[in-house]
Amino acid sequence: MNNIRTVLTSALVMGSLVSCSSPLLKAPAVATSSFLKSEPELKSDRKLSPFTLSGGTLASKKKGIYIAPVSLAYLRDASKALAKNRNAQAKRGQAARELAEYARTKFISAFERSPNGRYMIQTSLGADCLTLELAIIELNRNTLIGATSRFIVNNLALPGTDVMLAKAMRGLKGNIAIEGKLTDPTTGEVIYQFADNEESRSAFLLPITDLADYGQAREAIRAWARQFEELSRTPPGKRVRDTGVMSLF
């Protein structure tokens, strides 16, 4: 009996690992908004960039960076059925405003805490300063029903069914999509821009971030801030990895 349990447990763990590593479990790109510009051209380069789409260069002779207040002007309506109930919609506006403030704080913190940062945080615009503008364009909350359903499916799924289940469970996942552009305020030129979408991650264990309505969104924001700062000081051609590891900073 113990041997049988060991085999079944191993199969479940392997099935979960296969599922979590599937490329399809990376949140798909969402349609970009008019917040972004036509130049520099956005491309998908997962070999180097942690973002779904990116373009331009983060290299500049300027030494400062100003993080502007995060825009909600391009935020779309909730698009997932479990996030559309009336009570959730009533709270969504306030949650979005809190997340916008949270995002700005975390991007500032990422640069302030960097031991080898390329750019120094500035509290206002100046001649030796770039501006990072950010916009949250999609936001769907986590739901306990969605998290529980995914947890059950992940633990009962047979190995090799990850592709099918990844597609089937997307409607049960909270998500947040962000866009960003780095601008030289002296010339008005956008030198770098990016777009990314992150959703609740399927896992063998119930993700603790899914127990809060927007816990997944906060986790994604922390990761984006960390990744953008790392990318800003990484030599061209060197990869900055996307990560699902939860950060508490």
pLDDT at 88: 67
Q: Does 184 map to a domain?
A: yes
Q: Does 242 map to a domain?
A: no
Closest CA to 233 of 120, 121, 110, 117: 117
- Rounded Cα distance between 223 and 202, Å, is 17
As given in the structure block, the two tokens for residue 188 are 């008005």
With 90 as the cut, is the pLDDT of residue 16 above it?
no
- The 10 Å Cβ neighbour count of residue 216 is 25
Q: Is the peptide bond before 40 cis (omega within 30 degrees of 0)?
A: yes
pLDDT in tens, 134-182: 999 999 988 766 666 666 666 666 565 555 666 666 667 789 999 999 9
DSSP 8: H
Dihedral angle, C-alpha 213, 68, 195, 100, nearest 10 °: 10
Q: Does 243 map to a domain?
A: no
The mean pLDDT value of the chain amounts to: 79
Q: Does 224 map to a domain?
A: yes
What are the Cα distances from residue 148, in Å, to 47, 160, 210, 211?
33, 21, 9, 10
pLDDT in tens, 215-231: 889 999 999 999 999 99
What are the Cα distances from residue 25, in Å, to 95, 150, 169?
26, 12, 10
Q: Does 65 map to a domain?
A: yes
With DSSP H G I counted as helix, E B as strand and the rest as coil, what are the percentages for the chain, rounded to 5?
40, 20, 40
- The 10 Å Cβ neighbour count of residue 96 is 18
Residue 30 phi/psi, 5-degree rounding, is -110, 165
pLDDT at 136: 98
Percentage of the chain with pLDDT > 70?
Answer: 65
DSSP 158: P
Which string of DSSP letters, residue by residue, matches 61-124? Answer: S--EEEEPPPB-TTPPPP-SGGG-SHHHHHHHHHHHHHHHHHHHHHHHHHHHH-TT-SSEE-SS
Give residue 62's domain range: 2-232
The Cα diameter of the chain in Å comes to 72
**Which of the pair, 201 or 76, is modelled with greater confidence?**
76
Q: Does 227 map to a domain?
A: yes
With 70 as the cut, is the pLDDT of residue 121 above it?
yes
Q: Does 47 map to a domain?
A: yes
pLDDT at 41: 95
Contact residues for 102 (Cβ-Cβ < 8 A; gap 6+): 218, 221
With 60 as the cut, is the pLDDT of residue 2 above it?
no
With 50 as the cut, is the pLDDT of residue 42 above it?
yes
Contact residues for 42 (Cβ-Cβ < 8 A; gap 6+): 32, 36, 53, 54, 55, 193, 194, 195
With 70 as the cut, is the pLDDT of residue 57 above it?
yes
Q: Does 244 map to a domain?
A: no
Q: How many domains does the chain have?
A: 1
Highest mean pLDDT among 88-102, 178-192, 199-213, 234-248: 178-192
How confident is residue 211, by pLDDT bands cut at 50, 70 and 90? confident
**Torsional class of 56: left (φ above 0), alpha (ψ -120 to 50), beta (otherwise):** left
Q: At what angle do helices 144-156 and 2-21 cross, to 10 degrees?
A: 120
Q: What is the pTM assigned to this prediction?
A: 0.81
